[in-house]
Amino acid sequence: MKKIFLTLLLLSSIGLSVFAADVVPNAISLNYTNTFGVYQVGHAIVIYSEPNEKSAIKEKIVWDDENVLPKDLRLTDLFVVYIGNKDLALMAVTDETDDWVEVIYNNTTGEKGWIKKDDPFKFNTWVNFYSMYGRKYGLIILKGAPETVNSMYGSTDDDAKVISTINKPELINLNVIRGNWMLVTVVDADNVPKTGYIRWRSDDGVKYLFPNLK
């Protein structure tokens, strides 16, 4: 039924926006500093004005691996992360109830609305998201991150002693998250592992690293 629905959609949607590439952050962004997690969405998304199915519908969005409706939405507007071969499509969450999540459905304009959860396990806080994907795929340092992100400390304290630095990282493995700090093991170009704490986000939520999903 789903394939038939998508086929009919494609036949009736000439001039839709075409998906050009995966979406994965590579630079620090202020767009998601006031968000506290991500929600994995399916191919048909109904955005409500309130966390109530009787409230006004703000937008109906349908997408597949090549097209998206409405046509004025781009892939980068809709998702924080989209990776086709992993079937991973994540929207930024700004609020949550037991049954609903408020998401940013246009990253350019900042427009928000509510989605009814179809599975509570599709919502992850940023900490859970980083723990899951950072452990599995490792981490990258985002462009624009402050130079201090390369400092590795002996504890989760800005005044702690710097025990090492990150130079040309070949691999950054996440061990554990403690607040705005991560305990990581880094392998630089010299191929010598070193372990210490680094800042992964600022006090106001600007993220300096991201899971290396690609």
Structure tokens given for 86: 């992993």
Pick the range with the lowest mean pLDDT from 15-29, 44-58, 177-191.
Answer: 15-29
Give the pLDDT of residue 79: 94
Given a contact cutoff of 8 angstroms between Cβ atoms, the answer to whether 51 and 57 are in contact is: no
Highest mean pLDDT among 23-27, 29-33, 82-86: 23-27
Instruction: Reduce the secondary structure of the chain to three states and give it as a string.
Output: CHHHHHHHHHHCCCCCEECCCCECCCECCCCCCCCCEEEECCCEEEEECCCCCCCCEEEEEEECCCEEECCCCCHHHHCCEEEHHHCEEEEEEEEECCCEEEEEEECCCCEEEEEECCCHHHEEEHHHHHHHHHHHHCEEECECCCHHHHEEECCCCCCCCEEEECCCEEEEEEEEEECCEEEEEEEECCCCEEEEEEECECCCCCECEEECCC
Pick the range with the lowest mean pLDDT from 57-66, 110-119, 201-210.
Answer: 57-66
The answer to whether residue 181 scores a pLDDT higher than 60 is yes
What is the rounded distance in angstroms from the CA atom of residue 158 to the CA atom of residue 148? 10
Give the pLDDT of residue 189: 86
Give the pLDDT of residue 182: 97
Q: What domains lie within the chain, and their CATH numbers?
A: 2-118 (no CATH), 127-211 (2.30.30)
Confidence of residue 124 (pLDDT cuts 50, 70, 90): very high
The answer to whether residue 114 scores a pLDDT higher than 90 is yes
Give the pLDDT of residue 30: 87
Confidence of residue 13 (pLDDT cuts 50, 70, 90): very low
Mean residue pLDDT of the chain comes to 89
